[in-house]
Amino acid sequence: MIDVETELAFSGAETAHAALSAHAKSHDIPPEIDDPGHLAFSFQGNRLEFLTVPGRMRIRLSAVSPNTLYFLKEAVAHHLEEADPAAARKLRWPGDDGADSHRTPPNFRLLTVLERSRPIGGMTRLHLAGEDLEPLTRDGIHVKLMLPADRARSPVWPGVAANGATRWPKGADRLHVRYFTLLELDAEAGRVAIDFVDHPDGQISDWARAARSGDRIGIMGPGGGLPPATDRPLILMGDATALPALLRILEALPASAQGCVIAPLRPDDAGYLPASPLETLLLGPERFAASAAGCFAEALAARPEARVWVGAEHALVHEARRIAAALPAERKEIGTYWRRGQRGDARRDGHDG
């Protein structure tokens, strides 16, 4: 474990503490400890603690890797910014140089395009090469992928702010950033693949369809969670944008796993998902749009003890959350991947406008 702590003196410490607690609850992030003056979260072996007395806040981080340590520092800076911007600007971490830096974040790396393929209709797969890919084998299955918003410009990659947050290029140098799932990762060979669903006027999917050998793109991560590990039956549902994540989840399942997966694949494209012990309900894109929520409700009614995972467009996610509302937070992971009528990824960070 990597353990780091820091302390901030500011008059609004107690108010900021309460705001952090309220923010976590509003995003279905249950604290492990939520007492006056003591707020703690644990996830995937990592821990984040806020210890607050009048006028002072101590922040403790325990991380399983340098990658997750960076994400924790960034999360603290981001959420403290929402609660008390002046305090966020004062935040510093032991061992950091205490000044804005043009060095890239420790979990940033460049990938180079090797070749392009079409695993199924409506999807482009890029096979990529990079150095030091071993850290991508843990901490999560997703990465932030980025390229200049103005593709005619040379890229200016992110730096690190004095408080530990990512310093994103602005103005003409701003980056277009979206989340994607890592596939076919071979760290020893320095190879990885990423699938891109074809979106009309999607900036990164347009880039992927036109990418040539030698083109480069930046990534940060990994993050975004690991395949669910549980002894309970699983109910998995994802639209086309979540198919790569479903692929990774199914690859990781033990032979003893039970449950079902609901996906928008035609029979001819069934081979996109690996064989698994789960029942597979392939609806096809058109039927999926009309029937997925009903199928999800039926699956949960048949397996009320299940753990559920959903990744899809906002409207379907909203309906899935309603259907699974009675499940405790630790038995559901339901996330919006995109919103109809909004370009790009609903999980975007805001720095890419």
What are the pLDDT digits (tens) for 45-90?
Answer: 899 999 999 999 999 999 999 999 999 999 999 989 988 999 999 9
Indicate the pLDDT class of residue 27, thresholds 50, 70 and 90: low
- Final residue of a structural domain among 90, 124, 151: 90
Kindly indicate the confidence band of residue 342, based on its pLDDT and cuts at 50, 70 and 90.
Answer: low
Q: Looking at residues 42-47, what average pLDDT do you find?
A: 90
Last residue of a domain, one of 29, 56, 90: 90
Residue 149: inside a domain, yes or no?
Answer: yes
Residues 259 and 317 occupy one common structural domain: yes
User: By the 8 A CB rule, do 163 and 91 touch?
Assistant: yes
Do 258 and 334 fall into the same domain?
Answer: yes
Hey, is 174 helix, strand or coil? Answer: coil
Long-range (24+ apart) CB contacts under 8 A made by 67-73 are: 67/106, 67/107, 67/135, 67/138, 67/139, 67/221, 67/222, 67/223, 68/44, 68/139, 68/223, 69/2, 69/4, 70/105, 70/106, 70/107, 70/164, 71/107, 71/223, 72/46, 72/48, 73/4, 73/164, 73/165
Report if residue 229 sits inside a domain. Answer: no
The secondary structure of 313-330, three-state, reads EHHHHHHHHHHCCCCCHH
Q: In terms of domains, do 65 and 117 share one? A: no
pLDDT of residue 343: 58
Question: Could you tell me what percent of the chain has a pLDDT over 70?
Answer: 95
Average pLDDT, the chain: 92
Same domain for 172 and 251, yes or no, is no
- The stretch 196-221 carries a mean pLDDT of 92
CATH number at residue 208: 2.40.30.10
Residue 242: pLDDT above 70? yes
Q: What are phi and psi of 219, to 5 degrees?
A: -135, 155
Average pLDDT over residues 248-266: 96
Say yes or no to pLDDT of 146 above 90. yes
203 and 275 co-located in one domain: no
Give dist(CA 344, CA 339) in Å, integer.
8
Q: Is residue 96 part of a domain?
A: no
| SS3 category, 238 | strand
| Band (123; pLDDT cuts 50, 70, 90) | very high
* CATH number, position 278: 3.40.50.80
CATH number for position 17: 3.30.310.50
Looking at 198, 224, 250, the residue that finishes a domain is 224
Whether 53 and 159 share a structural domain? no
Q: What pLDDT is stored for residue 28 in this prediction?
A: 65
Pair 268, 331 in one domain: yes
> Quick one: angle between helices 13-26 and 66-83, nearest 10?
110
The verdict on 166 and 240 lying in the same domain is no
* 346 touches 336 (CB < 8 A): yes
171 and 116 assigned to the same domain: yes
Q: Quick check: is 97 in a domain? A: no
pLDDT of 109 > 60? The answer is: yes
Number of domains comprising the chain:
3
Domain with 157, as residue range(s), is 108-224
Segment 320-324 mean pLDDT = 98
Mean pLDDT over residues 270-278, rounded? 97
Q: Tens digits of per-residue pLDDT, 214-235?
A: 999 999 999 877 888 889 999 9
Pair (213, 239) in one structural domain: no
